[in-house]
């Protein structure tokens, strides 16, 4: 069944599956079969990072041809990025850090945002602008589970999606924390699997990710 086009909240994006794949695409022809492979494995929320010149074209292709997928845009660093992503079919955005300009632009244009944070001050800045579902990035490099446990005290109303250094092996430790809703990871879609067109492997990795407990 195709995903409805109603506005999604950040929490709905986070709750859809235990893992949001962080995807870097360098070839538009990979976009649709890759998205279909992930959806077949139970992963619908797809973060296409704005790190390549074809990222927006890939989003357009997925939005047009894979109705069961929900296109998201990663690496949003400016208001222009947010607007371009929305125009390309993105229904949620993810940023590596947080500025009020990015946050308020996404609110104004109706693009759900997972703002990136790595410090208590950044969490407070995002909260001031109304964001309580946040991306913790780079998670493992910045403190991992121990920092998330420490944040659980002062930030009882904040929920996180740790991303950065997350793998199938350490994801369960993160997902077991009460303030973690999902994780973000790049292991579901690797450059090698894209180059080889190994869609069956991507589906299998998506199934494994979908089965993680939280």
Whole-angstrom distance, CA of residue 117 vs CA of residue 126: 8
pLDDT at position 12 is 97
Is position 47 annotated as part of the catalytic site? yes
* 96 lies in some domain: yes
> Catalytic: which of 36, 135, 207, 208?
135
Is pLDDT above 90 for 4?
no
Q: CB–CB of 37/30 below 8 Å?
A: no
Average pLDDT, integer, range 141-166: 98
pLDDT at position 98 is 98
In 3D, which of 176, 165, 140, 127 has the Cα closest to residue 22? 165
The single-letter DSSP state of residue 120 is H
The CATH number of whichever domain residue 190 belongs to comes to 3.20.20.70
> Catalytic: which of 6, 29, 36, 47?
47
Average pLDDT, integer, range 154-161: 98
Query: Where does 129-198 have alpha helices with state H?
Result: 139-142, 144-151, 171-175, 191-196
Is position 207 annotated as part of the catalytic site? no
* 3 lies in some domain: no
* 1 lies in some domain: no
pLDDT in tens, 49-71: 999 999 999 999 999 999 999 99
- Mean pLDDT of the chain, nearest integer: 97
* 191 lies in some domain: yes
Rounded to two decimals, the pTM is 0.96
The single-letter DSSP state of residue 73 is E
Average pLDDT, integer, range 120-135: 98
* Percent of the chain residues topping a pLDDT of 90: 96
pLDDT at position 5 is 63
In 3D, which of 208, 206, 212 has the Cα closest to residue 44? 206
Q: Which domain holds residue 24?
A: 10-206
């Amino acid at each position: 069944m195709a995903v409805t086009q109603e506005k999604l909240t950040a929490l709905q994006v986070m709750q859809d599956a235990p893992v949001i794949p962080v995807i870097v695409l360098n070839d538009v022809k990979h976009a649709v079969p890759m998205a279909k492979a992930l959806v077949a494995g139970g992963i619908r929320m797809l973060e296409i990072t704005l790190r390549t010149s074809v990222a927006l074209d890939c989003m357009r292709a997925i939005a047009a041809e894979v109705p069961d997928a929900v296109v998201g845009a990663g690496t949003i660093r400016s208001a222009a990025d947010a607007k371009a992503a929305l125009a390309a079919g993105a229904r949620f955005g993810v940023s590596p850090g947080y500025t009020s300009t990015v946050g308020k632009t996404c609110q104004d244009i109706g693009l759900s945002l997972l703002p990136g944070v790595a410090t208590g001050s950044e969490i407070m800045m995002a909260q001031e602008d109304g964001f309580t579902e946040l991306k913790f990035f780079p998670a493992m490099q910045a403190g991992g589970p121990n920092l998330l446990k420490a944040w659980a005290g002062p930030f009882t109303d904040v929920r996180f999606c740790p991303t950065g250094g997350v793998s199938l092996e350490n994801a369960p430790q993160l997902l077991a924390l009460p303030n973690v809703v999902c994780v973000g990871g790049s292991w579901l879609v690797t450059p090698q699997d894209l180059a080889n067109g190994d869609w069956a492997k991507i589906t299998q990795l998506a199934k494994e990710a979908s089965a993680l407990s939280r």
